[in-house]
Structure 1
Amino acid sequence: MKRYILHTPFNIYHFEATTWLHAVHKHTYFEIIFILKGAGIHHINGNRFGYSQGDVFLLGPEDYHDFAIHELTEFCFIRFNESIHDHPVVDKDSPWQPIIKTLLTTSSQSRGSIVVDKQEKEKLRHLLMVLEEEYERHQPPYFAIIRDSLMRSMLMILARNLFGQAPSRPVVNASVEAILMYVQQHIYRPKELSIEHLADVFHYAPAYISLFFKKQTGESLKKYIIKHRIKLIEARLLYSPLTLAQIADEFGYTDESHFCKQFRKYTGNTPTAFRKQT
């Protein structure tokens, strides 16, 4: 499957189409997709979602998708790397930081369009209009600051809608959704993701929570945690200047050697080789 690469931290792609010309693909970046007019089907990760004017989708690097266009559709794609929010002057303890981090590490694709409320769609549309205008003018040094503020507002609205709505089509048991959310929120604290700790948090026996999770998702809980952590580490290697020691520390590894061994075990590559490949 083809993987599209973003060579800049941020761009906007606005166009109309009657036929979708791209094969099913993944990305190396995040993507907010606005449907400004038109109708059709959005295929995401093997699921089918009808789309129409006002719908908004959020895709991460491992999501794969394409469109079947039924009516002339006006799209606007905002493509960005997670690194655009790692600005050195930003207070890392700001309350919006964990909300956006959770949004970007939470799969939204069991829900289709994230935004349902008409007023919320209008707010996002207005923010998009301002962002596009600033993107066209691109006046340094103001653009990066304005862009980040507008993007932060958009992502906070998406988070409010995503975390406040039920899936349009349930994929797994609600208790599993709670476990998934907990794992994603605590992925940087390995001690809080031990089977024993998770069993205590969710009031299951340690043996049962693993069986329950695998029955509902088809994947073991331990394997899911490792895969999710590796996915985030790959993003750090691709889009951040952090050293291996800093990444190992961020994700709670005891040392750089242990970090490198586990990364190689699950990817077949050392972190250094993976970073050089890109």
Structure 2
Amino acid sequence: MTATIDGGRRHARPPSPRRHTRLKSVILHGVVLLLSTWVVVPLLFALVGGFKDNGQLSTNPFGLPAPWVPENYTSVLVSGSFWRQLFNSVFIGIATTLIVVVLSAMAAFVFARFAFRGRELIYTLFAMGLMFPFAVAILPLFVLLRTFGLLDNPLGVILPQAAFGVPMTVIVLRAFFRTIPREVEEAATIDGCTSFGFFWRILLPMARPALATVSVLAIVASWNNFFLPLVVFNDPNWWTLPLGVQQFYGQYSSDTARILAYVVLAMVPALAFYAVAERQLIGGLTAGASKG
């Protein structure tokens, strides 16, 4: 802050807007760098630690391996159980996402474009699903799945995951569908388009950013789900990657380096999916914010 003298009086000159903007940018970049370090350092530790043996982890936990031990990774990659768990996670995640998106899109279309008695009450019931903790439902859900013979069956995980994923997806898609002008629907009706035709041919293509966003959220929630597969699957042939990590840790609890290698390889598909879907996710969130 500088000062000027005017008639014997000293006037303080306020800081320039450019300096204030620069300071704000430095602080913001510092916070981002700190958060990035908080995330990246454990990942690098696990990645490098997977190339060590237990002796190196004890004596040199943060240094480079000397020598490198790639057998920790290769032993996991040649294991049939790892690839089977990866396939199970992908299959269950894709199936869950398809059910969630298809059902939620149709329900959100009805809630957004049709007026009928009890619409807001039914929509409120959907919204109340967000306040229902998954852990509270696990006991009656287990009894229900056992009654229908869905234990050790992928449908025993897919259907409950879809049911718990529908409320949030309906809320997101309904808000997006309501931003589509009525004039578009009226023009489609004049051209002879039915309600389902408008939904399928016009509304869904216009809602691709929102559909991509909810699809990413649904598949990530399914991929990270541990509790439900733990309850449903007793057969190791249907275990997903989160269950595989727990089982591998229990089997090799004394071999920390091999556990780190397994954890890193289990994270690779999720990180690759994030890298591919990042643009769609950000684009959907940005479109929703700009249209809201």
Query: Is the structural similarity TM-score above 0.5?
Result: no
Task: Using structure 2 for the length normalisation, give the TM-score.
Answer: 0.21
Task: Please state which structure has a larger fraction of its residues in strand.
Answer: 1
Task: Using structure 1 for the length normalisation, give the TM-score.
Answer: 0.22
Task: Please state which structure has a larger fraction of its residues in helix.
Answer: 2
Larger radius of gyration, structure 1 or 2?
2
Larger RCO (CA under 8 A, 6+ residues apart)? 2
